[in-house]
Amino acid sequence: MEKLFVIKIGGNVIDNEQNLQSFLKDFAAVSAKKILIHGGGKIATKIGQQLGIEPNYINGRRITDAATIDLVTMVYGGLVNKKIVAALQSLQCNAIGVTGADGNIIPAVKRPVKEVDFGFVGDIKADAINVKNLGVLLTHDFTLVVAPLTHDGAGQVLNTNADTIASALAVALSSEYDVRLVYCFEKAGVLEDVADEQSVIPLITIEKYKQLKEASKLFEGILPKIDNAFDAINQGVKEVLIGDARDLLQNVTAVTKGTLIQ
Amino acid sequence: MEKLFVIKIGGNVIDNEQNLQSFLKDFAAVSAKKILIHGGGKIATKIGQQLGIEPNYINGRRITDAATIDLVTMVYGGLVNKKIVAALQSLQCNAIGVTGADGNIIPAVKRPVKEVDFGFVGDIKADAINVKNLGVLLTHDFTLVVAPLTHDGAGQVLNTNADTIASALAVALSSEYDVRLVYCFEKAGVLEDVADEQSVIPLITIEKYKQLKEASKLFEGILPKIDNAFDAINQGVKEVLIGDARDLLQNVTAVTKGTLIQ
Distance CA B23, CA B14 (A): 9
pLDDT at B124 (0 to 100):
98
Asked whether the beta carbons of residue A89 and residue B104 sit closer than 8 angstroms, the reply is: yes
- Residue A52 has φ and ψ, to the nearest 5°, of 75, 20
Q: How far is CA A92 from CA A95, A112, A141, B8, B15, in A?
A: 9, 42, 12, 30, 36
Helices (H), chain A: 11-14, 17-29, 41-50, 66-74, 81-90, 131-139, 162-173, 206-215, 223-234, 245-248
pLDDT at B252 (0 to 100):
58
- Above pLDDT 70, what percent of chain A? 97
Distance CA A156, CA A216 (A): 44
pLDDT single digits (tens) A172-220: 999 999 999 999 988 889 998 888 889 999 999 999 999 998 988 788 8
Local structure of residue A113 (DSSP, 8 states): P
Query: What is the dotted CATH code of the domain comprising B3-184?
Result: 3.40.1160.10
For the cut 90, the answer to whether the pLDDT of residue A65 exceeds it is: yes
Chain A residues closer than 8 Å to B90 by CB: 153-155
pLDDT at A229 (0 to 100):
92
The whole-angstrom distance between B145's CA and the closest CA on chain A is 10
CB pairs under 8 A between A and B: 129
Chain A residues closer than 8 Å to B47 by CB: 51, 74
pLDDT band of residue A250 (cuts 50, 70, 90) is low
pLDDT band of residue A256 (cuts 50, 70, 90) is low
pLDDT single digits (tens) B206-238: 999 999 989 887 888 888 889 999 999 999 999
For the cut 70, the answer to whether the pLDDT of residue A84 exceeds it is: yes
Distance CA B94, CA B220 (A): 39
The whole-angstrom distance between B242's CA and the closest CA on chain A is 28
**Spans of all domains in chain B:** 3-184
Determine contact, residues B78/A97, Cβ cutoff 8 Å.
no
Mean pLDDT over residues A4-8, rounded? 96
Asked whether the beta carbons of residue A149 and residue B82 sit closer than 8 angstroms, the reply is: yes
pLDDT at B120 (0 to 100):
97
Identity (one letter) of the amino acid at A201?
I
Profile chain B (262 residues) by mean pLDDT over runs of 10 residues: 94 89 93 94 91 85 92 97 98 98 98 93 97 98 98 98 96 96 90 87 94 86 89 95 79 72 92
Mean pLDDT over residues A106-133, rounded? 96
The whole-angstrom distance between B200's CA and the closest CA on chain A is 35
- Above pLDDT 90, what percent of chain A? 75
B177: left (phi over 0), alpha (psi -120 to 50) or beta: beta
Asked whether the beta carbons of residue B97 and residue A98 sit closer than 8 angstroms, the reply is: yes
The whole-angstrom distance between A122's CA and the closest CA on chain B is 13
| Domain spanning A3-261: CATH superfamily | Acetylglutamate kinase-like (3.40.1160.10)
Distance CA A164, CA B173 (A): 38
Apex CA B26: angle with CA B22 and CA B29, to 5°?
140
Asked whether the beta carbons of residue A157 and residue B94 sit closer than 8 angstroms, the reply is: no
The residue among B142, B137, B15 whose CA lies nearest residue B88 is B142
The segment with the largest mean pLDDT, out of A73-77, A219-223, B15-19, is A73-77
pLDDT at A252 (0 to 100):
58
The minimal CB distance from A99 to the residues B82, B94, B149 is found for B82
Asked whether the beta carbons of residue A79 and residue B78 sit closer than 8 angstroms, the reply is: yes
